[in-house]
Amino acid sequence: MNNFYSELRPVTDFSGIATLDYYAPVPGDWHVVIADVKGSTVAIGAGEYKAVNIIGVSVITSILNAAKPVEIPYIFGGDGATLCVPGSLVPAVRDALLTTRRISDQQFGLGLRIGIVPVSYLRESGHDVLVARHRVSDYYMQAAFSGGGIDHAEALVKDDDTPTTFRIETPEEQSEADYSGLECRWDNVPSRHGETISLIVRVTLDSPETQADTYNEIIEKIEQVYGDESQSCPIYEEGLNTTLEGRLLKYEYLARTFSSSLVGRILYWLIMRVQISLGKIVMKFNLKTGDIDWGRYRGDVVRNADYRKYDGVLRQVLSGTPSQRAAIEAYLEELYHAGKCFYGIHVSDSALITCIINNRSGGHYHFVDGADGGYTMAAARMKRQVALAKR
């Protein structure tokens, strides 16, 4: 069953991503992996939103490297990540999680909740785990989750007040992980239209079919208001510029050199800056090196951008105007007061990108969040709505 995910027929149209017909049950001997940065809202308030993002992508990178050549589904959530892995990979995944937790603590001063929950347990508890594959581009397949099992796994791992055997709380163990491909070299991408919003929506209706229909209607409304992806995508070629600023490059450097010697750390810093400088030249003059067409590279970044996703909750980063935001807020507010959803929106002026580079001839993937902690801050606003509803 290790090839289960890679053999799913991909969905090509995001507008119907919540449709249940697209989903298949995750095998019972697989496990749900949850990672969540503790105190992410406080860290973001202190300006460390890039640290929060790179920890989440570090989790994904290390587990993808541990799983090779098995293809596994994953979702980046801004301040964490969710993945599904076959049982045979659990020991390697556990090592990757423990190592990333040490990096989070020792390099960035942030705690990281980590846990592994068997799919079989979630099903026995009445929560299914369904997955679909969404083809974003010729090179990038994005996972989508449904069924409620992911939410239940998150609750088990994230609730510090509830004891559970699934949350990994053991003292630090000797472990290693591979972070090859993890990069964070783009400057923030300014909005083309005035602002960049991070949007999270959770539909609260009981029927799975009605939930799916409502999500699809919301996605359709967002496209009506913000336009198609060529207009609303927060990443665009002209806005993509690599950076040589140390304060921005330090996040990749700290994650990638955690286990390195002093000499190794110095070499990494120097090589990274040389690579960025050369990259600026080859992209400026549209050069080709080997099988890499640098004139296409920025376009591939846009095509492989992970700026909208669905895991039982709709998450999007969108570039638009204040009037467009007001229109979508009015629509969602109406749904909220009708008891159909909770939502959160965070507004910034740009988007940030954290990357996984398998190869530069197309196999590179770019995780997008709103600057200043977009997804995390939007989630905090949505949680306030949920808390008010419980009073």
**Residue pLDDT, tens place only, 60-106:** 999 999 999 999 999 999 999 999 999 999 999 999 999 999 999 99
Which residue in 135, 18, 112 sits closest to 62, CA to CA? 112
Q: Tell me, what's the pLDDT at 121?
A: 98
Whether 172 has a pLDDT exceeding 70, the answer reads no
Share of the chain above pLDDT 70, in %: 99
**Confidence band (pLDDT; 50, 70, 90) for 170?**
confident
Mean pLDDT, residues 18-35 taken together: 97
CB 219 within 8 A of CB 335: no
Copy the structure tokens of residue 213.
């229909």
What does the alpha-carbon distance between residue 138 and residue 97 come to, in Å, rounded to a whole number?
30
- What average pLDDT does the chain have? 96
Q: What is the DSSP letter of 147?
A: S
Q: Tell me, what's the pLDDT at 385?
A: 96
Q: State how far the alpha carbon of 156 is from the alpha carbons of 36, 116, 160, 162, 239, in Å.
A: 12, 10, 9, 8, 40
Q: Tell me, what's the pLDDT at 160?
A: 84
Residue 287 CB neighbours (<10 A): 13
Q: Tell me, what's the pLDDT at 146?
A: 96
Mean pLDDT, residues 176-190 taken together: 97
What does the alpha-carbon distance between residue 177 and residue 316 come to, in Å, rounded to a whole number?
30
CB 64 within 8 A of CB 155: no
Q: State how far the alpha carbon of 97 is from the alpha carbons of 87, 142, 284, 324, in Å.
A: 15, 21, 38, 40
What does the alpha-carbon distance between residue 241 and residue 189 come to, in Å, rounded to a whole number?
8
Residue with tokens 């799983």: 67
- For the chain, first and last CA: distance in Å? 45
Every domain of the chain and the residues it spans:
14-178, 246-297
Whether 391 has a pLDDT exceeding 90, the answer reads no
Whether 161 has a pLDDT exceeding 90, the answer reads no
Copy the structure tokens of residue 245.
């600023």
Q: What is the pLDDT of residues 251-265, one digit of tens each?
A: 999 999 999 999 999
Lowest mean pLDDT among 114-118, 140-144, 157-161, 289-293: 157-161
Copy the structure tokens of residue 48.
């460390």
CB 59 within 8 A of CB 100: yes
Which residue in 182, 183, 278, 297 sits closest to 237, CA to CA? 297
Q: Tell me, what's the pLDDT at 206?
A: 86
At the topology level, CATH places domain 14-178 in: Alpha-Beta Plaits (3.30.70)
Q: What is the DSSP letter of 135?
A: E
What does the alpha-carbon distance between residue 182 and residue 298 come to, in Å, rounded to a whole number?
17
Copy the structure tokens of residue 373.
């902690």
Q: Tell me, what's the pLDDT at 1?
A: 78
Q: What is the pLDDT of residues 301-353, one digit of tens each?
A: 999 999 999 999 999 999 999 999 999 999 999 999 999 999 999 999 999 99
In the β-sheet with 130-135, what is the strand arrangement from edge to edge?
24-25, 130-135, 141-146
Tell me the whole-structure pTM to 2 decimals. 0.96
